Structure 1
């Protein structure tokens, strides 16, 4: 899909009758959705953050994000990514829950010039106060595409200087490796959901996953596992000692303006245990104390 050139992403953003903002690109309407991210506390999981995701609509019906993004011509992808990020930042207050952090995706290599990448970050940071956002509330997920490592390190330093935390996305696939962890020294490492689901099929998954989590902790990073869709995924992640969890088993993305469920999730119920059974991961945690 070829787009008419626009210099400012805000020119393509509008608000509906209740103040929820959306983007317009040709036949598409782009809406912000937020997926909760949880942290374990005792026998429950508590929402501590959300990830901003785009839900494209055409003719009033949802369209696969992959289909939408693959339809965008390369020269227009910077404009589209910028607009998506602006939508997530502007709509974040519509969640109506205080104390949550906001994760957003950022691919620095979508810029056609290093200077534009740096300018984009500085512009975003400069306008956060107008949206009622503090930099410490934001976590920038660096996508796993190949990149100029020197530029990538410079961009990360720029964001971190402004107070924005850094996450490496899709760890375990592509370019998201331990070498990139060493280079960027992220605050958070996101374990790729597809890789993790395949890993969980092995009988000794818990035993082999725990050292990986420990090694990332030793580097000063928290560990987030995404793609938690089955109880076995949750069990392996908890037994591994991860800090954060995300996935359809715990909560699906919800459009901006949807009532956010603040109720903690009961771990035993998610694992399929009743309160008379002590699951393995609980025994493991007890043994560590």
Structure 2
């Protein structure tokens, strides 16, 4: 494909983050809503969610695609902890779980202050082992990506969980629909997407950024960037401080000040993405029905 058909260059620096001769590869098609890709370098595999189909899928370079878990409890976002275990957000059970090395599942959290979560959506693990996740209402709005229910939480929060002590804290409580989240490579800031415009164009479609204080508190929240096509959902950072966000027309890349550097155009609405491959330079993209990948020159951060 020609460069112009894949990329939009908004800033010359974007050319140094992409491989202009690289193609966008469709690795699989057949999902209803692809989400939550997570790379396992030690197993040379990618796992991701097909939320409405109640399954998690696995892709390997040699073996193609197979079913990893079915039913999946309408699992959405995933990450790995510092021991390499899978951490998952489940819409159906409204909980955050950990898959142990033997395959058993441990419930890390399913309620806050005596009330059930809305529907945990996306999750990251900090280098100290704490688990940070978002809790919008998408999984209880209908029976398509979970089970319709009334919210029990008065707000839609970002949480910090310390699995070692069980301490659970709502670190931000003023989001409309918090969604994807990711730390900068040095963990000095946390980015969180607000995707509320998915159901009301007058509501936010931006990414906010917060300073991380003492490793556990967030301060100085401000708007980092606004998505100009669709909404921000899953987000990732690279080792140079850039942020890569999902959007309706593909993947948008911003520098650390929030300036749009460029876009990788994708034929379907992008829900989430992650860096993978042995060099963390292969971008895996979950986009509506399909899983895509493309090589870049950037090196992804936030890999255990």
The question of a shared fold, defined as TM-score above 0.5 by the shorter chain, is answered with: no
More helix by share: 1
Scaled by the length of structure 1, the TM-score of the pair is 0.28
Scaled by the length of structure 2, the TM-score of the pair is 0.27
